[in-house]
Amino acid sequence: MSEPLHFPAGFLWGAATSAHQVEGGNTHNDWWRFEQRPGVIVGGRGSGDACQHYRRFNDDFALAAADGHNAHRLSLEWSRLEPVKGQHDPGAVAHYHEVLASLHRHGLTPVVTLHHFTNPLWLADAGGWESRSAIDHFESFVRFCAREFGGEVDWWCTVNEPEVYAFRSYSEGVWPPAVRDDSRALAVMANLLEAHGRAYHVLHSEDRIDADGDGHAARVGFAKHRVQLEPLRAWNPLDHLQAAIEDRVFNLAVESAPITGTIDLSIPGARAVKRTPGDLKGTLDWYGLNYYTRWRVQSLAPVPHVVPPGTPVNDLGWEVWPAGLEQALLAAGRYGRPVLITENGVADAHDSIRPRALVGFVEAMHRAIAQGVPVLGYLHWSLLDNFEWSEGYHGRFGLYGVDFDAPERTRTRRTSAELFARIARSNALTDAARSLV
């Protein structure tokens, strides 16, 4: 028998979702329109009804609560709440009040994301995040959400993975608006970082006592995809240089901006962006860490990121490297802010590698805490199989499987859900949990 690995009192255990990926029927955003283009989604199937979570949220939260979760990350769909610029939909507003009430009823602390990759069509058609007006529009949306839902929410996540959004949408061109221009990608990333700073101040200025009356202050962070970058060939100085360049722009520049107040983005061949907005410095109450994989970088090659033969991979071909979570947490912890793991998981339709990986992730997190990183909680991606953006329904990340061919989108509890439940209920990794691996 091994000693249990205990976690701090009050630790948050839960799962994460995002509105467009699970709700279904988000017809007023740029992703829905993009999905209608031939060939842009693996398998050719758009989000459609997704998991039908828009109407089944209460049942889904009941599943999470029964598994011992005490927190849940979700997003508010901007295009539902404000389908026309300046006009808010009362039905959507009422719906999200019901969602938040259900979370509280099930004992799940809401961690609410305000921008998770989707934009209202009216914003996209006005230039999207390339236009600085998007910062103002987002600030207005955040103010509306703070005033409307602030009494029910303590934990706010302003933007999700601004670096991923910028590069996938404006550099690689595989997400809307399907642009391939590194300079435009850097400008978009800078605007999102500036928008985070504005949102931070709005959420604190509009803060009020929550629905439970416990007087908790708003806690505001953002979610950063911290990929670990390493040279493929340790002997090759160009691989080291390429990995360092990518790490600087993708990781270091993004995560340091809300701390230092300086946005400094540059990559070879693109127009650099350097700004010092007066309201950005010190705008991070907590660092939201999304961790999935490691990129092995090879320079001067048509495929810059490779997985060596024999390396364990998930269903999307990403390296499965649980030990990297410890490294990511140590890196995030350097900024002196508490860290909340806002996403971590494995695309594994057969649930064959996820249980062992989950144990490895939790062990890595425990090691980081032992080294002094103030980790607040762990939110697994995802509660449900869902629409994985341009990968369509190919990547299955759910603790619960979803049958997307069944009219009722039947949920199936996986072994990993039971494993996670045993960890969450005991606030520890025990032999009872390990026995499922």
- Single-letter code of the amino acid located at 361: F
Q: Where are the alpha helices (DSSP H) in 106-172?
A: 121-124, 133-149, 162-170
Residue 407 burial (C-beta neighbours within 10 Å; 0-12, 13-18, 19+): exposed
> Does the residue 180 lie in any domain?
yes
β-sheet with 294-297: strand ranges across: 228-231, 294-297, 305-306
Q: Are 100 and 110 contacting, i.e. CB atoms less than 8 angstroms apart?
A: yes
Q: What is the CATH number of the domain that holds 278?
A: 3.20.20.80
Q: Within a 10 A sphere around the Cβ of 78, how many other Cβ atoms? A: 26
Q: Within a 10 A sphere around the Cβ of 237, how many other Cβ atoms? A: 10
Residue 349 burial (C-beta neighbours within 10 Å; 0-12, 13-18, 19+): middle
Gap between the Cα atoms of 298 and 389, Å rounded = 26
pLDDT tens-place values along the chain, 437 residues long = 889 999 999 999 999 999 999 999 999 999 999 999 999 999 999 999 999 999 999 999 999 999 999 999 999 999 999 999 999 999 999 999 999 999 999 999 999 999 999 999 999 999 999 999 999 999 999 999 999 999 999 999 999 999 999 999 999 999 999 999 999 999 999 999 999 999 999 999 999 654 445 556 999 999 999 999 999 999 999 999 999 999 999 999 999 999 999 999 999 999 999 999 999 999 999 999 999 999 999 999 999 999 999 999 999 999 999 999 999 999 999 999 999 999 999 999 999 999 999 999 999 999 999 999 999 999 999 999 999 999 999 999 999 999 999 999 999 999 999 999 999 999 999 999 999 99
pLDDT at residue number 1? 82
Nearest to 429 by CA among 326, 359, 375, 364: 359
**Using omega within 30 degrees of 0 as the cis cutoff, is the peptide bond preceding 352 cis?**
no
Phi first, then psi: what are they for 71, rounded to 5°? Answer: -150, 160
pLDDT at residue number 214? 56
> Does the residue 120 lie in any domain?
yes
Gap between the Cα atoms of 84 and 122, Å rounded = 7
232-268 pLDDT tens trace: 999 999 999 999 999 999 999 999 999 999 999 999 9
Q: Are 169 and 175 contacting, i.e. CB atoms less than 8 angstroms apart?
A: yes
Domain that holds residue 18: 5-224+241-293+311-434
> Does the residue 232 lie in any domain?
no
> Does the residue 52 lie in any domain?
yes
Model pTM greater than 0.85?
yes
> Does the residue 231 lie in any domain?
no
Dump the DSSP string for 27-86: TTBHHHHHHTSTTSSGGG---TTTT-HHHHHHHHHHHHHHTT--EEEEE--HHHH-SBTT
> Does the residue 229 lie in any domain?
no
- Single-letter code of the amino acid located at 255: E
Q: Total structural domains in the chain?
A: 1
Nearest to 291 by CA among 243, 256, 341, 338: 341
pLDDT at residue number 209? 52
Alpha-carbon distances, residue 117 vs 34, 134, 165, 189, 294 (angstroms): 13, 13, 6, 12, 22
Contacts of 30 (CB under 8 A, 6+ apart): 118, 119, 120, 121, 123, 124, 128, 176, 177
Nearest to 152 by CA among 202, 88, 104: 104
> Does the residue 301 lie in any domain?
no
> Does the residue 106 lie in any domain?
yes
Residue 163 in tokens = 């670096």
